Chain A
Amino acid sequence: MDENKSESLNSIKNIILDERRLVTYTSISKELCIHVNKAKIFLREFVDELRKNKPNVGLSVSYIISGSLKNNKLLTILVLEEELVSVKDKFSTIFFEHIYSVCYGHCTSIDKSAFIAINTFEDYLLCKGTVKNNICSKRSYEEIGTLKFKSQEVPEKNLKNSIKKDSKNSIKEENHNTQNEVKTIKDHDKKTDPVKSEIPSPKYNSVTNNKSLDKKSNGKSNGNIMGFLSKTPNVKMDINKKDKGDIENKTKITKKFDREETNIDDSSKTNGTEIKLTEKKSVNSIIAQKNEASTQKKDIKVEKIDIEVKVRNKKTNQGNSFGKKRKRVLHVSDSDSDCEKSDSLADEITLERESEDEIPPTPSATIVTITPGLVNAKKRRKIIDKTYTDEEGFMLTKKEEIYESCSDDEVHTKENVDIKKQVTVETTALKNVPIKQSKKKSSPSQKHKQPTMMNFFKKVPN
């Protein structure tokens, strides 16, 4: 105990005389980890001892006095040692009096800023001897979290509304009015209902009728890509035409599917069933690889289908040209789930194709698709693969752009000259490159032109 006292006194001496810092009884208590009452005793002993041993050393001591004044008001005041006697006379009763602070040197007045700088409000809790009880304990993190949660609680009505909304994955809005909630629910239903209602259009009904015929004719279920192709009236008609019509178109269709997965013979297959088989293979392989689409995706696709059906209908008015209608891959859904699967797969296939083809922009009105038996009078830029041997004897196949028009001969020669120049430049750069035409490589679509089904038929390597 005496050792601690001597150590504390030495520390106080060092702080005041050597470091020349202003100290208060609370700062001493905090720094030396001693009781505040002990700090008061030590400070008083230090002052008495220093004035005894070293009277020449100047110290500025302030006191704190508390008492009742003559008008029965209570006062707690800080005074300097010089003013202590005069202030004491004002009090009728003094409750306590002790040293508050000690500082080296002489001070004429109490430096309030210095006292504020010594201690912060939080420092008083660190001093030994503070009066507190169990109520003044800290909450746990969980309790604080529940407090914050309670403060964010909304009234019960609103809470139910919010829960309903969250459950329906609707828009997150703070809506206290139940009517608005109903409106939002109705709106949500409206969003879904029209999409659903738009599916069974009369044209689809006709398609379903044709579907039965198609079934009979092909002897196949419609759970494949060809199934959805057969459902749309125009497509079906196109298929029928395909059955009857051009071999090239069919080969192109097959090639389009073949490009991704399967190997389709380049020999023409007029039989729609064969096409269906090949397509089914690709579809099944895709099914195995990919997950089923979500209902929302289906709804969105249904919307797409509806739009495409409308677009298709417009185009049918212009003429049932197979090439025109099949500029974009059509995916038509039906109420059957299989068809929806195939739709989703078709969508994915088209997406893949588009990604490989670097989706070209929508075809302009000037561009005319190749149709059998029709000759377009307007100029059309056409990409053709040309094979030739270079200087070293390597076979080179390059794509050349050729314009077809009425005056094709003149334009053709000019453009061919330009193209050949470009090609020669390319060949010099690629002398040592082995030539292989990847059969799987997608047809380089003409610039600014949608890839068509007919493109498949152009890329037959010689």
Chain B
Amino acid sequence: MLLKVSPKSTADEEFSSHDLERQIVDYTDSSTRFYEAPRDFSKQYAHIYSARLCTFRNILTPLIKNKWSNKYKILKLCDLRESGTSCVIIGTLFKLQELKPSILKELSDQLEIIPQPTRTHFVHDSDSLVLEDELQRIKLVSDVIDIHQVVTGVVCAILGSEDEDGIFTVKDVCWPGCSIQKPLPVRNEDRYIVLMSGLNMASKSADQILSLHLFLEWMSGLAGTSYYQEEVSKIVRVIIAGGVFANHSDESVLNESDVISSAELVDSLAAAISGVAPLDIMPGCKDPNDVMLPQKPFHYCLFPKATEYKSFRRVSNPYECEIGGLLCLGTSGEPVKDIMRYSNLDNSQEVLKKTLEWRHLAPTCPDTVPCTPSVDTDPFIIYNCPAIYFSGNADEFGTTLYEGEEGQRIRIVSIPDFCNTKSIAIINLANLECYSMSFS
């Protein structure tokens, strides 16, 4: 374990001059659906919703049978005829939110004399839920579903009945839940991956850069005793989850001059890390990249030195890969922050759990999170249950081991903002234990 204390020995034995080799594990990039996401902006966004609904309808149908057996018919909204009869309807949840920003309101607000205060949280008591399918929508009334715990874009199956007013009373709900997880490989030796995000290199503060120096010395196996250096050699991969140039805490827009001046520093850091360990670098919403999800990898021109290393990989946001037989899936944090804005979920860990329950990385796409219009498929659906599920640029470090209904074990990690916390996350692939390491 990385937390092992070196046994007592002489000074010379403690600091012996030895050459260590970093351990290697199998790696596969599974982000093909994010790389190949279409960029055809002539299409409407309605197609992604219909693709999402179609996919989840197939997922939910067997789950409904398992949960409610065959007692209730699965009907479409246009087939609802008899009031009071219990049935199951499948559709996309839509939250009618009074405080939700609207372009029409912005245009009308321009005429107002008193400027409206900027909001960061758009939850109101008057919010209501509506279920939509391919053709119709119906208003939901429920004590089962807490409206402030859901967001627009979630697909679910609802058991209830329609009353005379045309309002559907919800009795029970069936979420998609986690898919079946591939059996986790049994590993005897410790192998670690490092997750970090929110480097905010454009800020160039001395405190932050010294912390990065300490991180590099630690990562390179220069710091510590010989025994500790052997443990550090078991770190097999480093993943930077966005916020490389600017992090989310800085609400101001990144200037071109900031990017240009920090590009060399970012490249030298990426090259230094790639020189000692495999590095996967993801873009964030504030980085010089397309803001629409799924974000394409950084352009290679930004990393002329790092591109020389075979261990350097520019990857997409969201990012999915298989490291040592364990599926890792995560984002740079934009969907999590957006869900927190439109619901009362204020803990990133809770949000990540909910997204696993909803089986969707970013349900608020494309409503409030910009994304590219997709026609045939929804790339944000979680098709395979991950073993490590992370989200970057969080305010603080958080981790839980989520256990699904069918025995799934998922390590949920909220990667903290390195610029503010000077912290990284270390995950042991052998037992899915997770720690945070701070450099100060």
Contact = CB atoms under 8 A, between A and B. Distances in A.
Interface of A: 25-26, 29, 35-38, 40-41, 44, 64, 66, 68, 72-78, 93-96, 98, 112-113, 115-116, 119-122, 124-125, 127-133, 135-139, 143-144, 147-148, 151
B310 A137 contact: yes
B269 interface: yes
B220 interface: yes
Contact of A138 (B15, B212, B265, B308): B308
B437 interface: yes
Contacts of B436: 73-74
Contact of A133 (B21, B222, B271): B21
B403 interface: no
B300 A148 contact: yes
Contact of A144 (B212, B269, B276, B308): B308
Contacts of A93: 3, 5
A139 B309 CA distance: 6
B311 interface: yes
B3 A136 contact: no
Nearest to B277: A136
A127 B379 CA distance: 44
Tell which of A112, A120, A137, A147 has the most Cβ of chain B within 10 Å: A112
Nearest to B20: A131
Interface in B258-287: 265, 268-269, 271-272, 274-278
Given A124-B222, A139-B309, A76 B440 contact: yes
Interface stretch (B51-59, B76-84, B159-167, B227-235): B227-235
18 contacts: A29-B222, A37-B226, A64-B214, A68-B3, A74-B437, A75-B437, A75-B440, A76-B439, A94-B5, A96-B224, A121-B212, A122-B271, A124-B216, A129-B17, A131-B22, A131-B221, A132-B21, A136-B22
Contact of A95 (B6, B209, B217): B6
A113 B308 contact: no
B144 interface: no
Given A37-B226, A76-B440, A129 B276 contact: no
B10 to A, nearest CB: 11
B271 A129 contact: no
B223 A124 contact: no
* Interface range for B: 35 or more
Given A96-B224, A121-B272, A135-B24, A74 B278 contact: no
B438 interface: yes
Given A66-B218, A112-B207, A135 B311 contact: yes
A113 B208 CA distance: 11
Given A73-B438, A75-B440, A125 B272 contact: yes
Contact of B11 (A41, A64, A112, A122): A41
Contacts of B397: 73
Interface string B200-215: 0000001101101110
Given A95-B5, A95-B6, A121-B268, A130 B276 contact: yes
Interface string B15-33: 1111111111000000000
Nearest to B216: A124
B213 A122 contact: no
B309 A37 contact: no
B272 A138 contact: no
B325 to A, nearest CB: 18
Given A122-B268, A131-B22, 12 more contacts: A36-B222, A41-B11, A74-B426, A95-B228, A125-B275, A127-B220, A129-B17, A130-B275, A131-B21, A136-B309, A147-B300, A151-B299
Given A75-B440, A76-B440, A115-B213, A125 B223 contact: no
B435 interface: yes
B223 A138 contact: no
A119 B212 CA distance: 12
Nearest to A117: B206
Contact of A131 (B11, B276, B308): B276
A131 B192 CA distance: 14
Contacts of B206: 112-113, 116
B307 interface: yes
Given A78-B440, A122-B272, A130-B276, A41 B223 contact: no
Interface in B282-328: 299-300, 305, 307-311
